[in-house]
Chain A
């Protein structure tokens, strides 16, 4: 009897020990990333994003094929390819942030405490939603723009202070950008939780005018 109860006790101890060993091992294993570890909801979002980017690539391929054909025909007929070159310049001026631009988009107003990293995240989110050109107040955001904090905690963009009340204006598809920011769990919802004393607002704009870069790119 004594031997049997001792055995059961030992077995119980071993069982608990086994649970502890497995739990400890599990908590110490190095995290490894894999798409397989994502939830179906995350994977669905990733797939939608990939499909959208691939759609944009397909559209540009279709457009470029046409332009190559037209340019080749123009050269063959002795008209030259200046029209195509001018078209490229117009497109590249917007892409490379050279000069002022205009177009539809949205305005995002931030009134209250805010910081440089949050402003950078907001601009990043707008770009992810397809913003083609962005300005913070009246300062254009360029390809090499950076956000920081001055000694007095004022947000600076490319070294120049931004006003306490910030308006970010972005040219692009207004409905897409606004939905990306204001959807449940979206950027503005997150920021509103982090900055409870700050008011955020968006508006769709049919015609925005964004200035050229204040300082030339080095």
Chain B
């Protein structure tokens, strides 16, 4: 009876001691002290970025209106505006929609052994590999969680946080791809492509699914153009 009385508290004590030890191991004193203000600063900058992008979109719309007004006069203004519109389309500054495929990439949602976590979560290189496969399959427009992939786009990873076009993104990642469905599906189904991702999906539950979509919407690029040093010949 006395042994039984000791059993439960000992069990609970064991759980608590281990939980505390694990927590202390994971988070150093410095992390505890600085993470909250640093996290708030990062979120605040991301919030500020959303506002700046909205302002930029407004100014681009103003320039478009001025251009449209000049184009309505005919002559050189009309020609230049047609050229601007074509370049915006080519560069990813205009939204695009049509048939295509969507790709879902997500961290494994089921139980994963601690030693396998790295294989069960999505990495920046997974996104670059998927985007590369999309272009290979003839994609005409690609966006990752509504961030349009353009000629200057980069996928950047710090720790386990991923940025696309300098914007913080979290899984699940929805990759929207406009383009020829059969060629795109063939590229994603090709066993020689995305071998690592497919192997991690099968072995560790990484979320990876490619679906045909009758109507895919890819938004316009909303970041800065940053053309400072390169000049056209």
Contacts and interface: CB of A to CB of B under 8 A. Distances in A.
Asked if A and B bind, the verdict is yes
B132 A146 contact: yes
A97 B9 CA distance: 69
A160 interface: no
B210 interface: no
A10 B6 contact: yes
A33 B84 contact: no
B161 A103 contact: no
A198 B158 CA distance: 26
B203 to A, nearest CB: 16
Contact size range, A = 35 or more
Interface in A1-18: 3-4, 6-12, 14-18
Q: Taking chain B's interface residues, is the majority helix, strand, or loop, or is none over half, making it mixed?
A: helix
Interface string A138-162: 0001111111100000000000000
A161 to B, nearest CB: 15
Contacts of A218: 138, 140
B120 A85 contact: no
Nearest to B159: A42
A19 B10 CA distance: 10
B151 to A, nearest CB: 4
Interface in B107-157: 107-115, 117, 120-121, 125, 128-129, 132-133, 135-136, 138-140, 149-156
Given A10-B7, A22-B15, A47 B38 contact: yes
Contacts of A121: 125, 128
Contact of A7 (B3, B12, B19, B108): B3
A36 B23 CA distance: 13
Interface string B63-105: 1001101100100110011011001101111000000000000
Contact of B10 (A18, A96, A131, A148): A18
B43 A35 contact: yes
Contacts of A86: 80
Given A15-B11, A22-B14, A43 B38 contact: yes
Given A26-B114, A92-B91, A125 B229 contact: no
A26 B114 CA distance: 8
Nearest to A14: B10
Interface string B26-65: 0000110011101101110110110011011001101100
B10 A120 contact: no
Given A31-B117, A92-B225, 4 more contacts: A33-B161, A64-B62, A72-B66, A82-B77
